[in-house]
Structure 1
Amino acid sequence: MKHDTPARACGIDFGTSNSTAGWHRPGQASLLALEDGKITLPSVVFFNAEERRPVYGRLALHEYLEGYEGRLMRSLKSLLGSKLIKHDTSVLGTAMPFKDLLGLFIGELKKRAEASAGRGFDQVVLGRPVHFVDDDAAADQEAEDTLAAVARKVGFSEVSFQFEPIAAAYDYEANIQGEELVLIVDIGGGTSDFSLIRLAPERHYLDDRQADILATGGVHIGGTDFDKQLNIQGVMPLFGYGSRMKSQALMPTSYHLNLATWHTINAVYAQKSQLALANMRYDIEDSLGIDRLFKLIEQRAGHWLAMEVEASKIELTDQPQRRVDLGRIEAGLDVLLTRDLFESAIDGLLERVRGGVGELLASAGVSAGQVDTVFFTGGSSSIPALRNSVAALLPKARHVEGDNFGSIGSGLAIEARRRYG
Structure 2
Amino acid sequence: MTSASSLGFDFGTTNSVAARATGEVSDLVQLQGPEQDDAVFRSALCFWEEGNARGALEVAAGPWAIAEYLDSPETSRFLQSFKSVAASASFEHAIVFERRYRFEEMGRLFLRLMREKAKGALDGQAGRVIVGRPVEYAGARPDAALARTRYDMMFEGFGAEIHYVYEPLGAAFSYASRLDEPATVLVADFGGGTSDFSVVRIAERGAPRRCTPLAHAGVGIAGDRFDQRIVDHLILPMLGKGGKYRSFDKILDIPGGWFNDFSDWSRLALMRNRKTLAELDKLRRAALDPKAIERMIAIVEGEMGYQLYHAVGALKRALSAQEEAHFHFEGPDLRIEADVTRAAFEEWIAPDIVRIEGAVDQALTQAGVEPAAIDRVFLTGGTSLTPRVRRLFTERFGAERIASGGELTSIAHGLALIGQQDDIAAWAA
Q: Same-fold call, TM > 0.5? A: yes
Q: Does 1:21 align with 2:5?
A: no
Superposition deviation, residue 396 in structure 1: 7.3
Superposition deviation, residue 31 in structure 1: 0.8
Of residues 151, 154, 161, the one that matches 2:155 is 151
Q: Which residue of 2 aligns with 1:213?
A: 213
Q: Which residue of 2 aligns with 1:365?
A: 368
Any idea what the Cα deviations from partners look like across 1:378-411, whole Å, max 9, x if unmatched?
1111110111123333237610012110100000
Q: Which residue of 2 aligns with 1:414?
A: 417
Of residues 97, 115, 129, the one that matches 2:102 is 97
Q: Which residue of 1 aligns with 2:87?
A: 81
1:219-258 alignment, distance < 5 Å? 219-245=219-245, 249-258=252-261
Verify the 8 A CA contact 1:219 1:353 in the aligned structure 2.
Answer: yes
Distance of aligned partners of 1:105 and 1:248 in 2 relative to their CA distance in 1, 3 Å threshold: same
Superposition deviation, residue 73 in structure 1: 1.3
Q: Which residue of 2 aligns with 1:395?
A: 398
Of residues 123, 133, 136, the one that matches 1:128 is 133
Q: Which residue of 1 aligns with 2:190?
A: 187
Question: Is the deviation greater in 372-381 or in 98-107?
Answer: 98-107
Distance 1:20 1:399 in 2: 24
Q: Which residue of 1 aligns with 2:54?
A: none
Q: Which residue of 2 aligns with 1:314?
A: 317
Distance 2:340 2:120 in 1: 42
Distance 1:189 1:29 in 2: 24
Output the amino acid matched with 1:236.
L
Question: Is the deviation greater in 292-301 or in 107-116?
Answer: 107-116
Q: Which residue of 1 aligns with 2:120?
A: 115
Distance 2:304 2:122 in 1: 38
Q: Which residue of 1 aligns with 2:266?
A: 263
Q: Secondary structure of the residue that 2:385 maps to in structure 1?
A: coil
Distance 2:78 2:334 in 1: 26
Distance 1:312 1:305 in 2: 11
Q: Does 1:177 align with 2:180?
A: yes
Q: Which residue of 2 aligns with 1:141?
A: 145
Verify the 8 A CA contact 2:217 2:363 in the aligned structure 1.
Answer: yes
Distance of aligned partners of 1:163 and 1:46 in 2 relative to their CA distance in 1, 3 Å threshold: same
Superposition deviation, residue 275 in structure 1: 2.9
Distance 1:321 1:84 in 2: 39
**Fraction of identical pairs, as percent:** 27
Distance 2:404 2:238 in 1: 37
Distance of aligned partners of 1:204 and 1:306 in 2 relative to their CA distance in 1, 3 Å threshold: farther
Superposition deviation, residue 59 in structure 1: 1.4
Distance of aligned partners of 1:237 and 1:48 in 2 relative to their CA distance in 1, 3 Å threshold: same
Q: Give the gaps of 5 or more residues in structure 1.
A: none
Q: Does 1:278 align with 2:281?
A: yes
Q: Does 1:163 align with 2:166?
A: yes
Verify the 8 A CA contact 1:50 1:70 in the aligned structure 2.
Answer: no
1:342-381 alignment, distance < 5 Å? 342-381=345-384
Superposition deviation, residue 357 in structure 1: 0.5
* Structure number having the greater strand percentage: 2
Q: Which residue of 1 aligns with 2:388?
A: 385
Distance 1:332 1:234 in 2: 11
Distance of aligned partners of 1:347 and 1:201 in 2 relative to their CA distance in 1, 3 Å threshold: same
Distance 1:182 1:28 in 2: 22
Q: Which residue of 2 aligns with 1:56?
A: 61
Q: Could you say what the CA RMSD is over the residues aligned between the two structures, in angstroms?
A: 2.8
Distance of aligned partners of 1:281 and 1:155 in 2 relative to their CA distance in 1, 3 Å threshold: closer
Q: Secondary structure of the residue that 1:24 maps to in structure 2?
A: strand
Distance 1:357 1:341 in 2: 24
Output the amino acid matched with 2:281.
A
Output the amino acid matched with 2:7.
C
Q: Which residue of 1 aligns with 2:9?
A: 12
Distance 2:140 2:327 in 1: 38
Distance 1:342 1:50 in 2: 42
Superposition deviation, residue 304 in structure 1: 2.4
Superposition deviation, residue 206 in structure 1: 2.7
Distance 1:197 1:420 in 2: 16
TM-score (normalizing by structure 1): 0.89
Superposition deviation, residue 116 in structure 1: 3.1
Q: Which residue of 2 aligns with 1:301?
A: 304
Q: Secondary structure of the residue that 2:197 maps to in structure 1?
A: strand
Any idea what the Cα deviations from partners look like across 1:148-189, whole Å, max 9, x if unmatched?
23212x432211111111110110010112111110000011
Distance 1:43 1:29 in 2: 22
Any idea what the Cα deviations from partners look like across 1:305-331, whole Å, max 9, x if unmatched?
133212322222113344343343237
Between Structure 1 and Structure 2, how many residues are aligned?
A: 412
Distance 1:80 1:118 in 2: 25
Q: Secondary structure of the residue that 1:73 maps to in structure 2?
A: strand
Verify the 8 A CA contact 1:15 1:189 in the aligned structure 2.
Answer: yes
Verify the 8 A CA contact 2:84 2:139 in the aligned structure 1.
Answer: no
